[in-house]
């Protein structure tokens, strides 16, 4: 006789009263008691022993509470495992540019071209040279050899009567 739990063994509900428990024990004890059963002696003795254990457990309120707690924990489905996975950075995706992105690039290119045309046009309208070599550039013959080497050369290169530094009065 193999029962899953004491309630099934005694054939009662889990919320049975103490009177229902006692009646079920008396009814089943007649079936499994070695003196009153037609079952083989070993099977009757084992069945009666399990029946007594179930009755002793469920008749004591404290033991019944502990048994019910252990039974509810055993019947509860196990908690799903918690998988701990390190966050994975998504791989970069190469995709085609959208229409809005192409439009933004077009506007950016037009802004660059417009600013260059505007700068060159204004310089041309003012009459300034678009490309001028610096005076110290090698190969510039008209100013070759006139590079100042010391501070005294800078002062002597100034036209006569020109102020080298502004005066304390302002001008």
Distance, CA of 44 to CA of 1 (rounded, Å): 9
The answer to whether the beta carbons of residues 57 and 7 sit under 8 Å apart is no
What pLDDT digit, counting tens, does each position of 90-131 carry?
777 788 899 999 999 999 999 999 999 999 899 889 888 777
- Higher-pLDDT residue of 14, 143: 14
- Residue 54: which of 114, 20, 6 has the closest Cα? 6
The answer to whether residue 155 scores a pLDDT higher than 60 is: no
| pTM confidence score | 0.43
**Between the CA of residue 171 and those of 56, 68, 112, 157, 168, what are the distances in Å?**
117, 105, 42, 21, 8
Q: Picking from 29-43, 57-71, 101-115, which range would have the lowest pLDDT averaged per residue?
A: 29-43
pLDDT on residue 33: 82
- Percent of the chain with pLDDT strictly greater than 90: 23
State how far the Cα of 119 lies from the Cα of 108, in Å rounded to an integer: 17
């Amino acid at each position: 006789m193999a029962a899953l739990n004491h309630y099934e063994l005694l054939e009662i509900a889990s919320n049975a009263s103490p009177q229902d428990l006692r009646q079920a024990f008396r009814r089943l004890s007649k079936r499994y008691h070695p003196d009153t059963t037609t079952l083989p002696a070993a099977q009757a003795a084992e069945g009666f022993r399990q029946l007594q254990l179930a009755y002793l457990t469920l008749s004591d309120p404290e033991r019944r509470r502990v048994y019910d707690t252990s039974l509810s924990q055993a019947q509860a489905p196990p908690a799903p495992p918690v998988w701990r996975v390190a966050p994975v950075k998504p791989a970069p995706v190469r995709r085609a540019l959208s229409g809005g992105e192409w439009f933004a690039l077009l506007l950016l290119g037009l802004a660059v071209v417009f600013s260059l045309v505007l700068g060159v046009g204004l310089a041309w309208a003012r009459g300034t040279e678009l490309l001028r070599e610096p005076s110290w550039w090698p190969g510039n013959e008209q100013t070759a050899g006139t590079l100042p080497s010391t501070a005294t050369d800078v002062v002597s290169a100034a036209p006569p009567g020109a102020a080298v530094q502004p005066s304390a009065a302002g001008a």
